[in-house]
Structure 1
Amino acid sequence: MSNDRARPPGPTTAHQDLHSEHGALRGEHPGRARQPVIKVADLAWLEFEKPDLARAEVFARDFGFAVAARTGRALYLRGTLPGSACVVVRQGRTSRFLGPAFRAAGRADLDRLARATGHPVRDLREFGGGQVVDLADPSGFPVRVIHGTEQLPALPEQPPLPLNVGGSRTRTNATQRPPREPARIQRLGHVVLETPRFTQALDWYLDTLGLIVSDFLFLDGQRDRGPTMAFIRCDQGSTPVDHHTLAMHLGPRTGYVHSAYQVTDLDAIAAGGQYLAERGYKRSWGIGRHIQGSQLFDYWRDPDRLMVEHFADSDLFDCDLEPGWAPMSASGLAQWGPPATRDFLGANPTPALIREVVRALRADNEIDPGRLLGLMKAMNR
């Protein structure tokens, strides 16, 4: 890993043991840019393409989304918290991820981004409105930065269940009966992407959008070659934000891995999962609690096999926490829960995966036999 990116002043090293067993070694990637073009405030929404919007809406409602708007060519999904729609599903020939949209802190940031990148600010002429700068990251994902979209009012929440814990007894003469219903989505949390151009893509998000790294993962015996996964958050100064808004990992494919949506609590995750199972949907992995991010998780496949996650109780970090460093492994993905499945890890050796591996090995990127062997070992540790 190049060490010509000077470590910016300010971040504390006092809390590394709270989220990782290692801190950075001298000369390793600092996990943030000294002078980013802008600092985005949050992940606004994700865009997908689906051939059957009616089927997409059925799953969306079963998963816990509310429908904010529907047109002949698009479906706009939202959570209960106030804000913009958090998922846009567009009519298309295939089922695929199109790209993320990040929210700028102000209109001036859009203008600054436009000047720096040569991409103009334009009006969004669809539901929600606002202005947008359309970019592409080094992996080829379209990335939108938006401002001024309509902020939708809050919807009724799925209240957390009162718990009797130790000496705290908040519930008497009353039973617990969580309803068997969809786990009501509150908001979009994060998206995870795979790329064979990991370092270049990582630096682009830090330099251009001002994101900062919460945790790095590296391959066993290859730490000197730099990280192979990064959990990345927005930088809102002293305001705590999600442990990661974007996560990326090195791999032979360029594509979407999963996206995550916050729900109320563990009962919402479990009862909502039972509701999905009874309707024939397939769980990919869960229920458990992650290490990086600490959130409770449950992963599902939609009818087109795209992976989505219910989560609750995520870590919140402010700008002062420096990145943690830990080895990458399947067993290191969770503190408790069932072992990570091959379906979740994307480790099933399909013909399509083999073609992607061969193509990646022949291309100009970060995938070479050593990296590929290290990734395979990590998925079996």
Structure 2
Amino acid sequence: MAPVIRVEDIAHVRFAAPDLAAMADFLADFGLTAFRHGDRLYARGMNGAPFLHATEAGPPRFIGLGLRAASVDDLARLAAAEGAAIEPLDAPGGGKVVRLTDPDGNLVEVVAGQHWDAATAIAPEPPVNSAADFNRARQAVRTTPGPSHVFRLGHCVLNVGDFRTSEAWYKARFGFITSDEIEAARGVSMGAFMRCDRGDVPSDHHTLFLAQLPSGKGFNHAAFEVLGLNDLMLGHDHLLVRQRTPAWGVGRHILGSQIFDYWKDPWGHELEHWTDGDRFTAADGSNRATVQDLLAVQWGTPHPMFTGRLAPGPKTVGTIMALSVRLRRLFRRAPKSPSLGQAAGKYQ
């Protein structure tokens, strides 16, 4: 069955934090431009989008994500299918929004008609010399210390209560295509990297990753594209100097292929810098992969789960994840016992 609409990309992520000034300082170190609009803090990158990250005052939490529809007409189709309203988007860039709630309680804002500024001009990364190709001659490489330069928001990862339920919900409404489905054990899927269906236009390997983990549902991370490898490494050094909290990196993923560097904001929300990721069209289909493919790296820093003296191996981790998925399936299928009140009512 065809989806209600096909979204073009992720638009933004929303958080709450008790100290907006501290969040603004972190976002500046991370490479975003933070600014106030009304009583909220917003941050933009270099791609011209009105904002990529939004924070409101309150106890620290992830609120939800935004997805970009192709047109306001698409919003009308979505609103009609969901019995939802199309509302003005009271945020930088204006536009319209349809607000939904996913199966795990996350806010999903589908936006269209926003005003974008012109993208900031970007100097290309210096040419690279290799044994096969000498592209840089009579020219030295010089970099300037400082934060990375975030260009755009690339993806969001959500820990979900039930992978198949969330997968069906997002695909039916927004047209996502699976790039890689992750099996914790043969026949036991625990998540999927999903990309936007833009037909012949290449799309990021994943705009959304849904993962059913033993830790339960919640926010996992959001990932922001930077200008290139030098820019990512300069940002890594800058965040270390600023004594920010590293999470994982630097390395190159297997699935998606991107070079990554993960950091935590002052309240523990994980944000990723990435560059040089895969892009695919709708015709490139879907694949299956393992937990080892998910957590291993092609080079670089191993996943923190595998770095301790008593660290488990990927096979053990996969077994635990598969057991968690199977147990949740079992409990979901089991008939619920009547409550005390219900039981009493049966015999009155």
Q: Tell me the TM-score normalized by structure 1.
A: 0.78
- The answer for the alignment partner of 1:105 in structure 2 is 70
**Residue 125 of structure 1: which of 58, 66, 90 is its match?**
90
Q: Distance in 2 between matches of 1:42 and 1:330?
A: 25
Deviation sequence 1:237-266 (CA, Å, 0-9, x none): 000010000001002422111110111111
* Secondary structure at the counterpart of residue 114 of structure 1: helix
C-alpha change, 1:232 and 1:174, in structure 2 (3 Å) is same
C-alpha change, 1:332 and 1:75, in structure 2 (3 Å) is closer
- The answer for the alignment partner of 1:232 in structure 2 is 194
Q: 1:165 Cα shift?
A: 2.4
User: What pairs with 1:46-85 in structure 2 (closer than 5 Å)?
Assistant: 46-67=13-34, 69-85=35-51
* Secondary structure at the counterpart of residue 167 of structure 2: helix
Q: Distance in 2 between matches of 1:132 and 1:231?
A: 25
Q: Distance in 2 between matches of 1:141 and 1:78?
A: 22
- The answer for the alignment partner of 1:178 in structure 2 is 143
- The answer for the alignment partner of 2:249 in structure 1 is 286
Q: Distance in 2 between matches of 1:343 and 1:170?
A: 38
Mark the runs of 5 or more structure 2 residues left unpaired by the alignment.
312-323, 333-348
Native 8 Å contact 1:193 1:256 kept in 2? yes
**Residue 247 of structure 1: which of 205, 209, 217 is its match?**
209
Q: Distance in 1 between matches of 2:306 and 2:245?
A: 11
- The answer for the alignment partner of 2:338 in structure 1 is none
* Secondary structure at the counterpart of residue 228 of structure 1: strand
What residue identity is the alignment partner of 2:45? G
Native 8 Å contact 1:331 1:339 kept in 2? no
Aligned identity (percent) is: 36
C-alpha change, 1:133 and 1:72, in structure 2 (3 Å) is closer
* Secondary structure at the counterpart of residue 22 of structure 2: helix
Q: Distance in 1 between matches of 2:220 and 2:95?
A: 28
- The answer for the alignment partner of 1:160 in structure 2 is 125
Q: 1:282 Cα shift?
A: 1.9
Mark the runs of 5 or more structure 1 residues left unpaired by the alignment.
1-33, 349-360, 370-381
Q: 1:74 Cα shift?
A: 1.0
Query: More relative contact order in 1 or in 2 (CA 8 Å, sep 6+)?
Result: 1
Q: 1:124 Cα shift?
A: 1.4
Greater radius of gyration (CA): 2
**Root-mean-square deviation (Å):** 2.4
Q: Distance in 2 between matches of 1:296 and 1:82?
A: 23
Deviation sequence 1:197-234 (CA, Å, 0-9, x none): 211001100011111110001112xx324x10100110
Q: How many residues end up aligned between the 2 structures?
A: 316
* Secondary structure at the counterpart of residue 70 of structure 1: strand
